[in-house]
Amino acid sequence: MSAPLPGVTFKTATVNNIHMRYAEIGSGPLVLFCHGWPESWYSWRHQIMALSAAGYRCVAPDMRGYGGTEAPEPIEHYTLHHLVGDMAELVKALGESKAVIVGHDWGAPVAWHAALWRPDLFPAVCAMSVPYAAPGYVDALTALEKLGINDFYLQYFQKPGVAEAELQADIRSALRRIYFTAGGDMDDKGKGFARLTSGTLLANTVDPPALPAWLSEADLDYYTREFSRTGFRGGLNWYRNLRRNWELGGPWRGQPIRQPSLFIAGSRDGVLRFPASKATMEAFPRTLPGLVGSHIIDGAGHWVQQERPAEVNRLLVAFLKRLPA
């Protein structure tokens, strides 16, 4: 089945006990793309076209709980162990023995942990927006509580059904507001996703008078169709495993990722203003000894690979070209 991009095809594999849909284009060394929330394989549309033209086999799955991929009911089936397991088995289902893994937003922790846990399968890693933090000694929710914070969006997402109801009341409007507010075009300093001072997610967003240049009406239509079909439950369940991920991460506390790595983010990405982000990035020489580059793209927001595709593609291709054959 054809995807809504020339030359891209949809395929399905059974991996890690779920059916997974993925978009594929190109031939050559495998590059695996992991999207974040609330997105789909489509958020990598610019990268898979550019990298396939540069000589790579590009595979961008709908991650567990999204799009054409299965969304198991149990919340505990969305841990990082499940998500990394999906990617490891997808590499094998594709008939490959290794892949460079690329992730953005929630896909970044998946990519980082895939590189940490399976260096045999993932000899290089690129992550965007979310810097690598070695499994630590306090989980994110407990850390927020210790800071006296109880209105962070991560906390709002914890109770099943609450965020789903808000977002699914008007899916196109919700996505439009989320994409604009987290992007680099939004100038209202009082809005965003860290502290939800109004009590709900969308009350702390801005509805733009027009879409930003990087997001067309057709792009928004595609995302809206996908979430109208699936709802938001699967993706939100990733957030509901933050403590469980911390508990399961015990054997790797403090461990670095040693293989070649690349980090890319936008200078206006709200994630870089999270309480621990500055210290996390300052620790890169210790936590990412194989780091090839850490690039902050001026003026870009959270959706960096969609907002600044040419710059991101240039960095990705240069990173891939310098890796051993």
Catalytic residues: 105, 239, 302
C-alpha distances out from residue 243 to 195, 249, 275, Å: 20, 10, 18
**Any idea which residue has 């709200």 for tokens?**
270
Cβ–Cβ under 8 Å, residues 241 and 76: yes
Q: Residue ranges of the alpha helices (H) in the chain?
A: 45-53, 80-93, 107-117, 140-146, 153-156, 162-168, 171-182, 217-230, 233-239, 242-248, 277-282, 284-287, 304-307, 309-321
Strand partners, 25: 58
Q: Please choose, from the candidates 324, 238, 321, the residue with its C-alpha nearest in 3D space to the C-alpha of residue 55.
A: 321
Cβ–Cβ under 8 Å, residues 132 and 112: yes
The amino acid sitting at 236 is L
Residue 295: how many other CB atoms lie within 10 Å = 17
Cβ–Cβ under 8 Å, residues 25 and 58: yes
| DSSP secondary structure string for all residues of 123-138 | SEEEEESS------SS
Cβ–Cβ under 8 Å, residues 86 and 63: yes
Distance CA 319, CA 315 (A): 6
